[in-house]
Chains A and B, each alone.
Chain A
């Protein structure tokens, strides 16, 4: 047994360590929460870290999980030890290959951070619905609970798959285990070597396809033999459980930790036993330990090997005294007699005898729903009833089907000698990073065990983080959030009025508050609820102005190390001086290698300045505050929004009962307006005297938080006193007034609008027509102004010159205040498209950033106009937004055809003029759309009350007679990689679907992995040494079809071109593809000035603007920008994605940069020739189908 070495890592890393040792090839694809495993192994491989066999594993990113599984299958068949990492839909995409791999008895381990499969909604969080969907594939399934177990089971899985030839899923709970940081004893190469039998490895290699000893697999078999052949593998499956137990026993020799297929914990004479697997085990175990200590006869079984399910071993593990068994499943199988583990337990008992116990089954923890010892105790209480529910849920309030068991939320198993800390921070302030570091410091420098888990909200800008830390003299088994904290820290004073942080505080806890108020003033800044809890729970209150300490240390908003130091001072986990030494070591390690002498010094200064600024506050005996916490919705929302979404906004969504939820995942749109987050420190303030009324500010705003309106003079007179307006300057709307208005509570303060504003003040050149100013100086006035502004009617769309920049900005955006990043480069396109077509849009959105800011609860940014019309939206999958949109098209065309038939049939009743108008109006312009709306209204009026089946059908289909605008939205990960096959099929179809690719050139939503859109030389995850190949030319691939409208646009470089191209694409009656340059955090850029970069991208030829219009017979391909000038290098060096390589591998960066410049030159030459060539003389310049349509139109 090798010497114990402890490390503090998360479940993904604990798994990756083993996977990296035991594999030669890893084919991967990013999906939350498993991405970290692929990223780590890729980074280790890039750094030359070797496996057990002395080679550096090949880590290869594929275009999808299906692709990864195919590559794994191939690699296994060619004799390499091969693995992958995945979750959820990703695992489901691998299922076809998994059947093959198992059918061919091929040893491999897939590591799965188990995650909910999307049903009524997507969820990135954890449950077992994905692994349960693989039960029939023939794979063994081995579950890890604690991080130590996750680590250990990974190695046991490799040893077992090689011995048994049956492939293994090694799974653990997504987020709760994949992202929990815990102190574990790490296995090393020697341990792995002791477990992996080289003979089995050689046998695997010998089974590989080899032309020197040819063989064939993958035959097609017929009814005569398929069945028998399928049964031929039985002996292998019969041995798996025994082999796994043997490997567990061997592991005990190697590592000193003994596991069994089923491990029983609890009273030897227990009458109630809970059966559970993965991270829920530690939770139940805590409850069992406390209950048995109190004399209760309870127990639990850890299920480790779930497949093959060894019924005998299970029965043997049960105490004979058991009377009631509750099986907890972390999945839901609607329509089944019970969930899978429950059914397996019943079958085992039926087949293998065992005690005559009553078995009940319950669901818990779907989508990482909290599962606590209190809930486990609730289950035991249910089991003790004379007639417990046969099927139940725990952890929610099911007031519809009444399945949920009751429990006492105040029940706790927390021991007094365990430090339990929660920290409320902002994503941007470094709180999580510092806490992760604290866990590491304690875990690796003291005998204490340490656990860290981090909760994030659903927003990308201004997101709230909550860190849950435990430090204990014993291993920490329970994976659940801290609810009785001995230490609560509020890292941002803005939370004080919004979040009920102290509900998590235990009696006598310490509350550390970062506030600009000093120790004598801070009490009065606290709301009633907070003061009440401080007094009632006898909390010790400390205050520090960490902003000031950070400011003095020139650390900006990064208050993390200041607060971290104070935590160590107050929490009594280790001597503070020792902690400070370790904090500084971590600072040196993190920043030192980046050359940051000053960064290191500043961090040191922040640490050194912390304690002097920390003050204990004398807490009065009574509550003196006059104000309450405010959380929830703002304004005057509908009841559902207020009661349901409002509860979620207030971070109390866990309290909502089942009855509050829509039954099919349908939610109202236009709800972000009720979630006033007010996260900006500075907001743009309009200077009407400088403004040239160009509308650029409104166009580029990612959050629709600055808007332009033109209106009748009467509205200027009736407004609030400060509601300044000026005359409309253009000739289009004589006599009208206009105003630029900020939405002060919705602005994120990104400054993109001010950067883009072209109008400069003549007296003070640094001032523009809008200027960022402190929000608090303007908040009340601008709130009044914005309220009034919203009430002014929008202009008649038919009067607006929509194909101009300022005209477009007079149209109401039907996408507003999303949770996208401050300065997001995607959302301005989305918003602009809704301004043009939002009132008649249906959007199929690929999973990714745009589906998250578009559809992540609690509130949704797609909204409605005064008539209640607006985009209707759905997210199907990551890979199928093209097909999804195509499906919309098919249905709508069918409905239109049906309605047309009925119109003709009923023409005598409806009147020829109306019918003919509806049949001939194609809705190509806003005017035609307005006419269609008018006619449909008239039609509905005529049909109302007509007692005729055709009339009723036509009434139901009437809305389809207004031309609908069908869109598929998604990012480059979708369009270039996982969704390309489907997209290609839509191109080929020629059907009227508009496709918007928000091209950030990287997988943005999953944290910066390379896609085929990633340019040569850019550093990204899975391309740590710089992307080697050049970017795929998606536009040209679509153009090759001839009949697809293609536009490559950049709002920052040429907004007018973007506007005209978007409108032309939508008007085109076939498939349209828009590829939009979308800057992104993932590019490592200054988000405020990113639009300038877009200009440079176009100017240097990196991002040529063009459009290909199949209807233009003379010359369909148009290059819409000037010849490149300036160098690509100048453009690239402003972006970290390229600059990182220059700092880490300068020679390689230089090589790739030259190649990238070559790509640009080559492409420009190619495009130039395309733009100047004459298209086919014989074909009249157009593809045949476009000609045919043109003829039909003429006819």
Chain B
């Protein structure tokens, strides 16, 4: 008897618990097809960055306006085009093409900067046919005057505004940098998140010592990074009424098994596909099946959350922040 890998994520019924997270691979139809062939259950498209769209639009406008109407011989410098595929057009087109190219669910991803932008683009993505929407929220509160409450309120307002405007399921992908991650997760779900994707990884500025300039840096994830989301998935499982997805550091079958055991509905991969190739998806799924068979798990449902904080033998392990001497108990529970 085979293992039942089926799972549900954001209300979507998936063949298995492995989803390809937002990355350039899902930008190309060809690789999307290969992702489906390799067995991934769903794919998240790369994020549409509102900031980038607005920047490009502003730049396009500036390019057409810069230096114009200043000198009688050169009142303009560029021919106006009939149409520009500026703004979200090409992204929306990609959603449609992706939906046509593969049969697995397609989750659109959005990173906005303004409330108006989030809502506007979310609706457009829904209209373009996305099966679900992932809000990729990161906000670096570099100003020293903004309180954590204000930051949190910003997240919550956003989620609730988008939730009000679309009817497809809504996942929220956030970073771990909240004073009370659990409480924040609960409030995000309260604001309308149908699922939480833990955690996104930020671009970090590096310093170029030759030029004494900053240079943006984003490394592929390592397996070590798995542990952070693993902890929070375990903590949240059973306590929030939302799907949970683990992302960051999931590279091998064992990582997926851990994610599921901690309580994730799905695990997401991206970095490992760059080092191992898209076919690695089937290896992970094969490995998971093998392990589950070996351990005599019938289904993902059975495995899911079996090692959550609630269900694991040592719940305190998920609360421990540092090494300390083992707390030895000299007496039994009842004398």
Contact with B along A434-472 (1 / 0, CB 8 A): 000000000000000000001010011001010000000
Query: Once bound together, how far apart are the Cα atoms of A33 and B74, in whole Å?
Result: 10
Q: Which residue of A lies closest to B87 (CB)?
A: A595
Report if A595-B78 is in contact (Cβ < 8 Å); known contacts: A32-B73, A428-B70, A463-B70.
no
Query: Once bound together, how far apart are the Cα atoms of A1084 and B66, in whole Å?
Result: 8
Q: Report whether B71 and A1139 are in contact in the complex, using a CB–CB cutoff of 8 Å.
A: no
Q: Report whether A433 and B60 are in contact in the complex, using a CB–CB cutoff of 8 Å.
A: no
Q: Report whether B74 and A1004 are in contact in the complex, using a CB–CB cutoff of 8 Å.
A: yes
Q: Report whether A432 and B69 are in contact in the complex, using a CB–CB cutoff of 8 Å.
A: yes
B120 at the interface (CB under 8 A from A): yes
Q: Report whether B78 and A460 are in contact in the complex, using a CB–CB cutoff of 8 Å.
A: no
> Among residues 457 to 495 in chain A, which have CB atoms less than 8 Å away from a CB atom of chain B?
459-460, 463, 465
Query: Once bound together, how far apart are the Cα atoms of A647 and B63, in whole Å?
Result: 36
Q: Report whether B75 and A1007 are in contact in the complex, using a CB–CB cutoff of 8 Å.
A: yes
Please choose the segment from B19-27, B49-57, B186-194, B236-244 that sits at the chain A interface, where 4 or more of its residues have CB less than 8 A away: B49-57
The 11 listed contacts between A and B (C-beta, < 8 Å) are A43-B80, A454-B69, A460-B67, A594-B57, A598-B54, A599-B61, A1081-B66, A1084-B78, A1140-B78, A1143-B60, A1146-B90
Q: Report whether B79 and A43 are in contact in the complex, using a CB–CB cutoff of 8 Å.
A: yes
Q: Report whether A1146 and B212 are in contact in the complex, using a CB–CB cutoff of 8 Å.
A: no
Chain A contact surface mostly: mixed
Q: Report whether A42 and B63 are in contact in the complex, using a CB–CB cutoff of 8 Å.
A: no
B-side contacts of A433, CB under 8 Å: 65, 68-69
Query: Once bound together, how far apart are the Cα atoms of A593 and B60, in whole Å?
Result: 10
> Among residues 76 to 107 in chain B, which have CB atoms less than 8 Å away from a CB atom of chain A?
76-90
Q: Categorize the interface residue count of chain B.
A: 35 or more
**Known contacts A46-B82, A597-B87, A1143-B56; can you find 13 more A-B pairs with CB under 8 A?**
A426-B70, A433-B65, A456-B70, A459-B71, A465-B70, A591-B57, A594-B57, A595-B60, A595-B88, A599-B57, A1007-B75, A1084-B66, A1137-B78
> Among residues 578 to 636 in chain A, which have CB atoms less than 8 Å away from a CB atom of chain B?
591, 593-599, 601
Query: Once bound together, how far apart are the Cα atoms of A711 and B56, in whole Å?
Result: 49
B-side contacts of A594, CB under 8 Å: 57, 60-61, 64, 84, 86-87
Contact with B along A1126-1165 (1 / 0, CB 8 A): 0000000000110110011110000000000000000000
Q: Report whether A1144 and B56 are in contact in the complex, using a CB–CB cutoff of 8 Å.
A: no
Q: Report whether A1143 and B84 are in contact in the complex, using a CB–CB cutoff of 8 Å.
A: yes
- Out of B77, B79, B82, which one reaches A1081, CB within 8 Å? B77
B127 at the interface (CB under 8 A from A): no
Q: Report whether B72 and A32 are in contact in the complex, using a CB–CB cutoff of 8 Å.
A: yes
Q: Report whether B85 and A1146 are in contact in the complex, using a CB–CB cutoff of 8 Å.
A: yes
Q: Which residue of B lies closest to A49 (CB)?
A: B82
Closest chain-B Cβ to A726's Cβ sits at a distance in Å of: 22
Q: Which residue of A lies closest to B72 (CB)?
A: A456
> Which of A598, A601, A1145 has the most chain B CB atoms closer than 10 A to its own CB?
A598
A765 at the interface (CB under 8 A from B): yes
Query: Once bound together, how far apart are the Cα atoms of A1144 and B86, in whole Å?
Result: 7
Closest chain-B Cβ to A1153's Cβ sits at a distance in Å of: 16
B13 at the interface (CB under 8 A from A): no
Chain B contact surface mostly: loop
Q: Report whether B72 and A175 are in contact in the complex, using a CB–CB cutoff of 8 Å.
A: yes
Contact with B along A356-374 (1 / 0, CB 8 A): 0000000000000000000
Q: Which residue of A lies closest to B69 (CB)?
A: A432
The 5 closest A-B pairs by CB, nearest first: A595-B87, A427-B70, A595-B86, A1136-B63, A1007-B74
Closest chain-A Cβ to B97's Cβ sits at a distance in Å of: 13
Closest chain-A Cβ to B224's Cβ sits at a distance in Å of: 32
Closest chain-A Cβ to B114's Cβ sits at a distance in Å of: 7
Query: Once bound together, how far apart are the Cα atoms of A47 and B82, in whole Å?
Result: 7
Closest chain-B Cβ to A434's Cβ sits at a distance in Å of: 10
Q: Report whether A596 and B76 are in contact in the complex, using a CB–CB cutoff of 8 Å.
A: no
Query: Once bound together, how far apart are the Cα atoms of A1165 and B35, in whole Å?
Result: 39
B116 at the interface (CB under 8 A from A): yes
Closest chain-A Cβ to B66's Cβ sits at a distance in Å of: 6
> Which of B69, B75, B213 has the most chain A CB atoms closer than 10 A to its own CB?
B69
A-side contacts of B56, CB under 8 Å: 595, 1143
Q: Which residue of A lies closest to B207 (CB)?
A: A765
A1005 at the interface (CB under 8 A from B): yes
B12 at the interface (CB under 8 A from A): no
Closest chain-A Cβ to B94's Cβ sits at a distance in Å of: 11
A-side contacts of B83, CB under 8 Å: 593, 1144
- Out of A431, A432, A596, A1020, which one reaches B86, CB within 8 Å? A596
> Among residues 1062 to 1115 in chain A, which have CB atoms less than 8 Å away from a CB atom of chain B?
1081-1082, 1084
B59 at the interface (CB under 8 A from A): yes
A-side contacts of B59, CB under 8 Å: 1136, 1139
B-side contacts of A39, CB under 8 Å: 79
Contacts between chains A and B (CB distance < 8 A), count = 155
Closest chain-B Cβ to A1010's Cβ sits at a distance in Å of: 10
A678 at the interface (CB under 8 A from B): no
- Out of B58, B71, B78, B89, which one reaches A599, CB within 8 Å? B58
Closest chain-A Cβ to B295's Cβ sits at a distance in Å of: 49
A-side contacts of B279, CB under 8 Å: none
Q: Report whether A427 and B69 are in contact in the complex, using a CB–CB cutoff of 8 Å.
A: yes
Q: Which residue of A lies closest to B77 (CB)?
A: A1008
* A-to-B contact residues, CB < 8 Å: 32-33, 36, 39, 42-43, 46-47, 124, 175, 426-428, 430-433, 454, 456, 459-460, 463, 465, 558, 591, 593-599, 601, 760, 765, 821, 852, 1004-1008, 1019-1021, 1024, 1081-1082, 1084, 1136-1137, 1139-1140, 1143-1146
* B-to-A contact residues, CB < 8 Å: 53-54, 56-61, 63-90, 114, 116-117, 120, 212-213
- Out of B63, B69, B74, B213, which one reaches A1140, CB within 8 Å? B63
Q: Report whether B212 and A1007 are in contact in the complex, using a CB–CB cutoff of 8 Å.
A: no
Q: Which residue of A lies closest to B117 (CB)?
A: A597
> Which of A459, A597, A760, A1024 has the most chain B CB atoms closer than 10 A to its own CB?
A597
- Out of A32, A463, A593, A596, which one reaches B54, CB within 8 Å? A596
Report if A591-B61 is in contact (Cβ < 8 Å); known contacts: A597-B120, A1007-B74, A1021-B78.
yes
Closest chain-A Cβ to B163's Cβ sits at a distance in Å of: 21
Q: Which residue of B lies closest to A1142 (CB)?
A: B85
Closest chain-A Cβ to B121's Cβ sits at a distance in Å of: 9
- Out of A36, A596, A1008, which one reaches B58, CB within 8 Å? A596
- Out of B79, B85, B114, which one reaches A1019, CB within 8 Å? B79
Report if A1084-B87 is in contact (Cβ < 8 Å); known contacts: A43-B79, A1024-B79.
no
Q: Report whether A1005 and B69 are in contact in the complex, using a CB–CB cutoff of 8 Å.
A: no
Report if A465-B69 is in contact (Cβ < 8 Å); known contacts: A42-B79, A1139-B63, A1146-B90.
yes
Closest chain-B Cβ to A468's Cβ sits at a distance in Å of: 14
Query: Once bound together, how far apart are the Cα atoms of A1136 and B67, in whole Å?
Result: 13
Closest chain-B Cβ to A819's Cβ sits at a distance in Å of: 9
- Out of A43, A598, A1136, which one reaches B60, CB within 8 Å? A1136
A-side contacts of B117, CB under 8 Å: 597-598
Q: Report whether A1008 and B78 are in contact in the complex, using a CB–CB cutoff of 8 Å.
A: yes
Q: Report whether A1144 and B114 are in contact in the complex, using a CB–CB cutoff of 8 Å.
A: no
> Which of B74, B86, B213 has the most chain A CB atoms closer than 10 A to its own CB?
B74
A-side contacts of B60, CB under 8 Å: 594-596, 1136, 1139-1140, 1143
- Out of A430, A460, A595, A1005, which one reaches B89, CB within 8 Å? A595
Query: Once bound together, how far apart are the Cα atoms of A1143 and B55, in whole Å?
Result: 13
B-side contacts of A465, CB under 8 Å: 69-70
Closest chain-A Cβ to B30's Cβ sits at a distance in Å of: 14
Query: Once bound together, how far apart are the Cα atoms of A578 and B163, in whole Å?
Result: 36
B-side contacts of A460, CB under 8 Å: 67, 70-71
Query: Once bound together, how far apart are the Cα atoms of A32 and B82, in whole Å?
Result: 24
Q: Which residue of B lies closest to A1003 (CB)?
A: B74
> Which of A43, A456, A595, A599 has the most chain B CB atoms closer than 10 A to its own CB?
A595
A-side contacts of B80, CB under 8 Å: 43
Q: Which residue of A lies closest to B90 (CB)?
A: A1146
Q: Report whether A596 and B116 are in contact in the complex, using a CB–CB cutoff of 8 Å.
A: no
Query: Once bound together, how far apart are the Cα atoms of A1144 and B114, in whole Å?
Result: 25
Query: Once bound together, how far apart are the Cα atoms of A124 and B74, in whole Å?
Result: 12
Query: Once bound together, how far apart are the Cα atoms of A454 and B69, in whole Å?
Result: 9
Closest chain-A Cβ to B82's Cβ sits at a distance in Å of: 5
